[in-house]
Structure 1
Amino acid sequence: MKCIVGLGNPGRKFKKTRHNIGFMVIDELVERHDWKLKTDKFHGKSVVEHIHGDKVVLLKPQTYMNLSGQSIRPLMDFYQIDPTDILVIYDDMDLPTGKIRLRQKGGHGGHNGVRSTIEHVGSKEFKRLRIGIGRPDTRMPVIDYVIGTFSKEQQRDATGSIQTAADACEAWLEKPFDQVMNEFNTQ
């Protein structure tokens, strides 16, 4: 079984913010396959389905970004999912809006949602899909930028990256992750 986790913050206030782009990818996958997310006992919204012959669980933690691992760990334990079978999707200010990057493993890079995931999963060996949100072009505080919405100019690129990220998630269910990285990291 594989697990795809989109990081974000719950609630209407954060719905279309840059920090919630991980949630947006999960929503795209759910919409493509006409699935339904349900609130679960793992402090999140999840669905377990089959796609391309593989069983997959999609998760949107409802613990707020900085506590994401508190949702991922119990789900992982319940379904007996190995860290190497988890793909975590999150925003990255070091990538321009519209770009995505996949990685096999790594550190948290200053991202508190990934930091919480590493802490609770007990490993850095989970896969990552980083989606670029760019950096503010003013002296705007980082927190205000990430919980702000995409500008009209950024919206087209952000929408494209959500589509591409969902394509990459689906590809991972059919192909080795190295192959998916080679395919999508060159776009």
Structure 2
Amino acid sequence: MSSHPTQSIRLIVGLGNPGADYAATRHNAGFWWVDRLAERYGGSFRSESKFHGQVCRIQVDGRECWLLKPGTFMNRSGQSVSSLAKYYKIGLDEILVAHDELDLSPGVVRLKFGGGHAGHNGLRDIISAMGGRDFWRLRIGIDHPGNAREVVNYVLGRPSRQDGEAIERALDGAERVLPELLQGRFQLAMNAMHSG
């Protein structure tokens, strides 16, 4: 029996930086995914100042889920996440944060519960604002530039066409398991995604 919590996911946060300059950058892979979910399930994002970001509500197989794109820039993401979670009384283990992951190749996407922030400013701020790390993460592989000093320029750059296509395919796979995620069937979702 797996030790993962079986709560269903009620809030999906896509991490990214607001504004057209950042839209196509690797660091915005989390935004890309929630944009796709909104489109697929007929929702649209609207700005909500009390949540410091853009919010969308979707229904999937009769289950309601909030999608959030913080409008605060990456290193202040926690302000947005905590204000929405508090308002709708959403628990830490009912939150899934989609973010770019340097330690995975483009085309790879992994589901993970808990853990540290591995230097990711968005995750770091959410852990701090929420007072805990026990939330789900959708880690979207973007690869590592090979040199720690190059990371900032790399994540704020655009993927090559080949990498971009690989990331899109991975996001497709993650999109397909959304019904499982919203039902708390994480093992099933992982098996489907990780074998893809």
Unaligned runs of 5+ in 2: 1-8
1:135-156, Cα deviation, whole Å (9 max, x unpaired) = 2267871111001011122121
| Residues 90 and 129 in structure 1, CA contact (< 8 A), matched pair in contact too | yes
Please name the residue that 1:144 is paired with.
153
Q: Give, in whole Å, the separation in 2 of the partners of 1:43 and 1:138.
A: 33
Does 2:81 correspond to 1:72?
yes
CA deviation after TM superposition for structure 1 residue 185, in Å: 2.3
Counterpart pick for 1:11 among 16, 19, 39? 19
1:158 to 1:140, Cα distance in 2 relative to 1, 3 A: farther
1:5 to 1:139, Cα distance in 2 relative to 1, 3 A: closer
Please name the residue that 1:157 is paired with.
166
CA deviation after TM superposition for structure 1 residue 186, in Å: 2.9
The TM-score, its normalising length taken from structure 1, stands at: 0.94
Letter of the 1:6 counterpart: G
Taking the TM superposition and a 5 Å limit, the aligned residue runs for 1:60-139 are 60-136=69-145
| Residues 13 and 96 in structure 2, CA contact (< 8 A), matched pair in contact too | yes
| Residues 52 and 174 in structure 1, CA contact (< 8 A), matched pair in contact too | no
Percent identity over the alignment is 40
1:46-69, Cα deviation, whole Å (9 max, x unpaired) = 012321111110000011111110
Q: Give, in whole Å, the separation in 2 of the partners of 1:20 and 1:27.
A: 11
| Residues 84 and 127 in structure 1, CA contact (< 8 A), matched pair in contact too | yes
* Most deviating of 88-97 and 30-39: 30-39
Does 2:181 correspond to 1:168?
no
The TM-score, its normalising length taken from structure 2, stands at: 0.90
Please name the residue that 2:10 is paired with.
2
| Residues 56 and 68 in structure 2, CA contact (< 8 A), matched pair in contact too | yes
Taking only aligned residues, the RMSD between alpha carbons, in angstroms, comes to: 1.6
| Residues 52 and 173 in structure 1, CA contact (< 8 A), matched pair in contact too | no
Counterpart pick for 2:57 among 48, 58, 64? 48
* Most deviating of 68-77 and 137-146: 137-146
Q: Give, in whole Å, the separation in 1 of the partners of 2:117 and 2:146.
A: 24
CA deviation after TM superposition for structure 1 residue 179, in Å: 2.4
Unaligned runs of 5+ in 1: none
Please name the residue that 1:26 is paired with.
34
1:52-98, Cα deviation, whole Å (9 max, x unpaired) = 11111000001111111010000000000000100000000100011
Letter of the 1:7 counterpart: L
